[in-house]
C-alpha cells in the first residue's frame, strides 16, 4: 500500500471508517495491488477527506475520512470496490472489522 | 510497541480515539518503552474496551476503544499519561492528531 502522511481533515463533525484487518498466510498475491488501487479509487470518491494506513505483520489498520455517512455508503457500494470486498472476504482476510464513526472532536499540536 | 490483534469490541455505540502520529528523526530513544507502558496503563483504565496499533516508518496509527467520552477524558487526565503527553509534544512527535469519535456501526465477517 502507498505511504500516507497524517490526513489533513477539516473541523469536526465528519466521519471516519476504521478498518483493522488480518491477512491470511497464503493467497495474498494480488492483495497489495488491489489495496493500492482501492486507495486511489477512494480518493476520487465524492466526500472523501483523507486516509491513513499502516501495517505490521500482525495487523493492518486503515482509517478513511468522509464528509458524511452517505459518502461512506456510496464508497461501499462502488462496483469495483464491491468486487474487491468479495475477493477480500473469500481470499485475503483472516479477519477484519469495519467501524463507522462520527468524529466529534479533533486535537492537533 | 506490542503487537495487537483486532480488538474485540462490543455492539455500538461506543467511542474510539484515533491517534495518527509521525515521529521525529532524532530524540526518540525512550519512545518505544513509553509507548508500550502507555498501552499497558490504558488497558487498566476504567471503560477501556481495546486497542489496535500499527506503525510504518512514515506513520503510526493507534486506535483505542472506550465505553464513553468520559472514559477517554479520564485517560487523557491520567498523571503518568499526562507526563508522557508532555514528552511526546516536546521530544518525540513531529506531528499528530487526536480524533475523538463515536462508533455508530460495526461490520464483522
Contact A22 B6 (CB under 8 A): yes
| pLDDT score, position A107 | 94
CB < 8 Å to A7, chain B:
20, 97
pLDDT at residue A89 is higher than 60: yes
**Percent of chain A residues past pLDDT 70, beyond the cut:** 96
Phi, psi of A95 (to 5 degrees): -165, 155
Residue B57 has pLDDT above 90, yes or no: no
What band does A109 get if pLDDT is binned at 50, 70 and 90?
A: confident
If one compares B30 and B79, the residue with the highest pLDDT of the two is B79
- pLDDT (average), residues B14-27: 93
Mean pLDDT of chain A: 93
Query: For position B26, what pLDDT does the model report?
Result: 83
Q: What is the pLDDT of residues A15-58, one digit of tens each?
A: 999 999 999 988 778 899 999 999 999 999 999 999 999 998 88
Q: Do A97 and B105 touch (CB under 8 A)?
A: no
Task: Report residue A78 as a C-alpha cell.
Answer: 462502488
Contact B18, A16 (CB under 8 A): yes
> Is A61–B60 a contact, with Cβ atoms under 8 angstroms apart?
no
Chain A hits for B98, Cβ within 8 Å: 106-107
Asked whether the whole model's pTM tops 0.90, one would answer: yes
A6 contact residues in B (CB cutoff 8 A): 20-22, 59, 95-97
d(CA A42, CA B63): 21
Q: Is B58 in contact with A109 (Cβ distance < 8 A)?
A: no
Q: Tell me: pLDDT of B2 over 70.
A: no
H/E stretch holding A41: helix A31-43
DSSP letter string, chain A: ----------SSPEEEEEEEEEE-SSS-TTHHHHHHHHHHHHHTSTTEEEEEEEE-SS-EEEEEEES-HHHHHHHHH-HHHHHHHHHIIIIIEEEE-EEEEEEEEEE--
Is the ipTM here above 0.90? yes
Amino acid at each position: 500500500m502507498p505511504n500516507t502522511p497524517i490526513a489533513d481533515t477539516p473541523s469536526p463533525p465528519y466521519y471516519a471508517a476504521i478498518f483493522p484487518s488480518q491477512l491470511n498466510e497464503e493467497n495474498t498475491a494480488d492483495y497489495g495491488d488491489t489495496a493500492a488501487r482501492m486507495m486511489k479509487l477512494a480518493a476520487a470518491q465524492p466526500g472523501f477527506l483523507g486516509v491513513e494506513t499502516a501495517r505490521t505483520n500482525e495487523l493492518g489498520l486503515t482509517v478513511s475520512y468522509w464528509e458524511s455517512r452517505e459518502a461512506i455508503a456510496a464508497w461501499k457500494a462502488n462496483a469495483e470496490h464491491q468486487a474487491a470486498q468479495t475477493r477480500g472476504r473469500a481470499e485475503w482476510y483472516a479477519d477484519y472489522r469495519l467501524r463507522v464513526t462520527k468524529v466529534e472532536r479533533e486535537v492537533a499540536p
